[in-house]
């Protein structure tokens, strides 16, 4: 994707299941503005259920919904309900507390 304004977006866990039930893809290549987009706005533009999202991985690091996503980055939306210890180790606990999905 170098030289383009695209991001690769994946859906994990129950968000992936939700997309499959809706007949929607679970992996996307999405054009975004050259100066980036806020994760919450990207999720909203994709029609994702914001109330089911707890965090977003951007290039392997967990963030809340108010983080900026730039072209060329790899993005994965993570649902609420990830099992206990994984939430802490992956940083989802803190990302969920930061929120930013409203």
* pLDDT tens digits, 72-101: 999 999 888 766 655 555 555 555 555 565
More confident residue, 63 or 44: 44
Exposure string (b/e) for 24-41, b if CB count within 10 Å is 16 or more? eeeebebebeeebbebbe
Domains parsed from the chain with CATH numbers: 6-98 (3.10.20.30)
* Mean pLDDT, all residues of the chain: 84
* pLDDT tens digits, 9-55: 999 889 999 999 999 999 999 999 999 999 999 999 999 999 988 88
**pTM metric for this prediction:** 0.81
């Amino acid at each position: 994707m170098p030289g383009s304004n695209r991001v690769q977006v994946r859906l994990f866990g129950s968000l992936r299941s939700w997309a499959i039930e809706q007949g929607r893809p679970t992996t996307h290549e999405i054009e975004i503005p050259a100066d980036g987009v806020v994760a919450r706005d990207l999720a909203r533009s994709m029609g994702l259920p914001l109330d089911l999202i707890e965090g977003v991985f951007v290039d392997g690091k967990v963030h809340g919904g108010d983080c900026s996503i730039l072209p060329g980055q790899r993005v994965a939306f993570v649902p609420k309900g990830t099992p206990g210890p994984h939430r802490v180790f992956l940083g989802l606990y803190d990302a969920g507390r930061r929120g930013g999905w409203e």
